Structure 1
Amino acid sequence: MSLQAPDATHWNDLAASYDRVMGNVPQMHALFQEIVSHIQPDTATILDLGAGTGNLLIQAARARPQAALLALDPAPAMLERLREKVPEDVALTTLIGSAHAIDLPDHSVDTIISNYALHHLTHADKRVCAQEVLRVLKPGGKFIYGDQHCRRMGGPEDPAWVADMYDLLSSKALHYLRTAGLDRMLLQVELIPKFLRADGEMPVPVEYWVSALEDAGFPPPLVVEMDPAPLLNRVIVATKPRAS
């Protein structure tokens, strides 16, 4: 799931195959379950940033059937696939756009969720996204964010960072082969050059997101380490302060 501009994202081309490749990845389903477990029982609105084909949002809707759903993604083809999967009687609004410029009013959403999407933002836009999330959430609302992370900050100009990223990504590819199959491994291998060039694939250490959220005005968030630890999948749960 990408959060690049709609005319730049390559995820439009992957919409048809995304569910087939990702549908049986156990690590992804574990992230979904952890994210959904933190959604407040009485939530009335759920916004998914980088909703893609809707796999996380659909699970959230099953757990909180009373909630109205909002799906934001820059890839129209992904959102079209999402609309095909969501039952007609579910209240769903789709928005084409990016998580660093959310076209919703202040204090309008109870819960914001996201999975494997926000690492596509530039590092500067990640910090803008944290500010946007705080703005859009109602007081007391939650931001529940699952994603892959890396071990250190850096970029393609830093050989040590490139070597560390390659080690992490190649280890992930082998793990996916053992646990999720060849197609998931090959997708990981296909994306390695984009990670190493920071071309739309730009994970950061989890501490970067913690800092961005705290700088935006959130109290220190909860960070849940997901198994297996070497994949560096984490779920971050941040709660907007209530008005004093």
Structure 2
Amino acid sequence: MSAPPHPRLTDGPSVADISRLFDKDAETYDQARSRLVPDLTPFYEVAVDLAATAVAGLSPRVLDLGAGTGLLTAELAAALPEASFALLDTSPRMLAVARDALALYAVRHETIEADMRDPLPPGPFHIVASALAVHHLPHDSQRALYARIREILAPGGVFIHAEQVAGHSHQLETLYEDMWLRDVKSRGVSAKELAQARTRMAHDHPVPVATHLTWLAEAGFREADCFYKRYRFAVFGAWA
């Protein structure tokens, strides 16, 4: 089931451009992601473990922000067969891929074509999750999003955020870049895939781990921590 786009709260830089970029790569995105994100399996495993532990014994309602092709939702659904999912993304082609994939496994879901700066679907949600999406927003929009996520979480609900982060210094950022290039080249990433990734990354606004934790605390989450980190890839959990 698909919900119509929400009215926009604010315009932001390059929203349409970003949507077109991800639309263009929708059919090949998942295969490329496995080469572009080193240790993708443990990266997602930590996110899923945190979510499953937080909602043990429930039939949770889950919102996946920037859901793309539904890769994170699929992983969560395997661990949470009683869950129902709402997938929000700006890219209609990405959401079409997600719908087709999730339908094969009878995952209960709806898709919402919207930007993360639009009004979020009404809660309460037991889990709000996001993987490699929030960093596309400008910093002030990321910070504001955390507060809006907190508002739609059920008491005791959890925000699971698997994200690309920045180094807190130029030296560390250079190290992250060098290690990422080493890793993706060792995994056989093609020149085309790397060029496509670079084009998408030109729109990115990552921030350091400490900044994420500060923003989560300011948003009113009672507990928050970074539970996994490998250079520029990190997984956060924050509880309402």
Give the TM-score band, short-chain normalised. 0.7 to 0.9
Q: Is the 8 A contact 1:169 1:192 kept in 2?
A: no
1:187 maps onto 2:203 in alignment = no
Q: Tell me the alpha carbon deviations over residues 99-130 of structure 1, each in whole angstroms, 9 at most, x when there is no partner.
A: 2334312x421101111111111101001110
Aligned equivalents of 1:31 and 1:17: distance in 2? 20
1:208 is aligned, of 198, 208, 211, to 211
Aligned equivalents of 1:224 and 1:66: distance in 2? 25
1:94 is aligned, of 111, 131, 141, to 111
Shift of the 204–187 alpha-carbon distance from structure 1 to 2, 3 Å rule, reads farther
Aligned equivalents of 1:5 and 1:101: distance in 2? 12
C-alpha RMSD of matched pairs (Å) = 2.4
User: The residue matched to 2:87 in structure 1 has which SS?
Assistant: strand
Number of corresponding residues: 221
Aligned equivalents of 1:75 and 1:149: distance in 2? 23
Q: Is the 8 A contact 1:210 1:220 kept in 2?
A: no
Structure 2 equivalent of residue 139 of structure 1? 155
**% identical equivalent positions:** 24
Q: How does 1:27-106 map to 2 (within 5 A)?
A: 27-39=39-51, 40-41=55-56, 42-87=58-103, 89-105=106-122
- Cα distance, 1:218 vs structure 2: 0.9
Structure 1 equivalent of residue 3 of structure 2? none
Q: Tell me, which stretches of 5 or more residues in structure 1 are unaligned?
A: 154-160
Q: Tell me, which stretches of 5 or more residues in structure 2 are unaligned?
A: 1-12
| Paired amino acid for 1:116 | L
- Cα distance, 1:186 vs structure 2: 5.5
Q: Is the 8 A contact 2:38 2:180 kept in 1?
A: no
Q: Is the 8 A contact 1:221 1:239 kept in 2?
A: yes
Aligned equivalents of 1:219 and 1:187: distance in 2? 40
TM-score in terms of structure 1 length: 0.81
1:172 is aligned, of 180, 183, 188, to 180
- Cα distance, 1:239 vs structure 2: 0.4
Aligned equivalents of 2:65 and 2:212: distance in 1? 15
Q: Is the 8 A contact 1:120 1:200 kept in 2?
A: yes
Aligned equivalents of 2:129 and 2:167: distance in 1? 23
TM-score in terms of structure 2 length: 0.82
